[in-house]
């Protein structure tokens, strides 16, 4: 993927967008997030976790993932980017790579260049090329799969295989004895309840009637 700082490159697009956001008074993190959204000219489907690996605080440490998500929502609410939720197994619009679908779920983001009076540095043909390169990188990272691949079927309908545990012989013997004792106790209680006599019915005499007049 073209990532050098030359004009018309991904780095140039990110730098232009981030610089414009800084001039508008946005925070360092919000400008960095906006720059990454604008990096590919058109659409960007990187997850917040993927953005976290690229962005650094002034002290060199990583930002918290929720801080990145919060900055993304602020930019969305201000109308500077669009951000649409993509569920796991759902097709990603713009990911023209054999019907690419997300394996983990993400957000589809688009930078609104005109909102900052900027022109998209990529031509229509260049945006298509960068989308294809972004899709290849996402597939290599396991974040995007073709529609008919086995990985897609797994992403669309994940199954959980229950784990089977085997006890060591000593623990298994203790478990067997405990189970046998429990069953014997239940049998004794059942036998005692069956042998216990039930309540003796009490006959109540009918009330005496008064003599006739």
Quickly list H helices, the chain. 10-23, 28-38, 48-54, 65-77, 124-140, 150-156, 169-195
As given in the structure block, the two tokens for residue 196 are 């216990």
pLDDT in tens, 16-69: 999 999 999 999 999 999 999 998 887 888 888 888 888 989 898 999 999 999
Separation of alpha carbons 32 and 71, rounded Å: 9
In terms of DSSP bridges, do strands 43-44 and 106-111 run parallel, antiparallel, or are they unpaired? antiparallel
> Considering all CA atoms of the chain, what is the largest pairwise distance in Å, rounded to the nearest integer?
127
Angle, CA 68 vertex, CA 80 and CA 151 arms, to 5°: 100
What is the model's pLDDT at position 114? 92
What would the DSSP string read from start to end of 177-195? Answer: HHHHHHHHHHHHHHHHHHH
Instruction: Indicate the pTM of the whole model.
Output: 0.60
Task: Put residue 89 in one of left, alpha, beta given phi > 0 → left and psi -120 to 50 → alpha.
Answer: left
Instruction: Please tell me the distance from the alpha carbon of residue 197 to that of residue 45, in angstroms, as a whole number.
Output: 76
Cβ pair 3, 21 in contact under 8 A: no
Q: Which of 43-57, 114-128, 137-151 has the lowest mean pLDDT?
A: 137-151
pLDDT value of position 40 = 84
Cα 193 to Cα 113, 182, 189: the distances in Å are 82, 17, 6
Highest mean pLDDT among 33-42, 90-99, 123-132, 148-157 belongs to 33-42
Q: Cα dist. 30→53, 85, 200 in Å?
A: 15, 19, 84
Where are the domains positioned within the chain? 10-156
> What's the rounded mean pLDDT across residues 143-158?
54
What is the Cα 15 distance to its own chain's centre? Answer: 29
Residue 166 clears pLDDT 70, i.e. is over it: no
Tell me the fold of 10-156.
Answer: Arc Repressor Mutant, subunit A (1.10.10)
Instruction: Determine the pLDDT at residue 35.
Output: 93
């Amino acid at each position: 993927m073209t990532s050098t700082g030359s004009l018309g490159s991904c780095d140039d697009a990110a730098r232009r967008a981030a610089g414009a956001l800084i001039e508008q008074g946005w925070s360092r993190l919000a400008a960095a997030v906006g720059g990454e959204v604008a990096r590919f000219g058109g659409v960007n489907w990187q997850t917040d976790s993927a953005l976290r690996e690229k962005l650094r605080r002034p002290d060199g440490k990583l930002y918290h993932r929720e801080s990145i998500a919060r900055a993304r929502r602020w930019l969305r609410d201000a109308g500077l980017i669009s951000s649409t939720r993509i569920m796991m197994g759902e097709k990603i619009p713009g990911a023209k790579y054999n019907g690419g679908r997300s394996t983990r779920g993400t957000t589809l983001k688009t930078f609104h260049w005109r909102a900052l009076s900027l022109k998209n540095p990529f031509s229509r043909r260049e945006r298509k090329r960068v989308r294809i390169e972004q899709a290849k990188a996402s597939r290599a990272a396991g974040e995007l799969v073709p529609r008919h691949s086995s990985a897609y079927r797994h992403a669309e309908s994940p199954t959980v295989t229950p784990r089977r545990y085997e006890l060591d012989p000593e623990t298994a013997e203790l478990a067997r004895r405990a189970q046998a004792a429990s069953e014997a106790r239940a049998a004794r209680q059942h036998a005692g309840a069956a042998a216990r006599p039930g309540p003796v019915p009490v006959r109540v005499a009918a009330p005496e009637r008064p003599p006739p007049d």
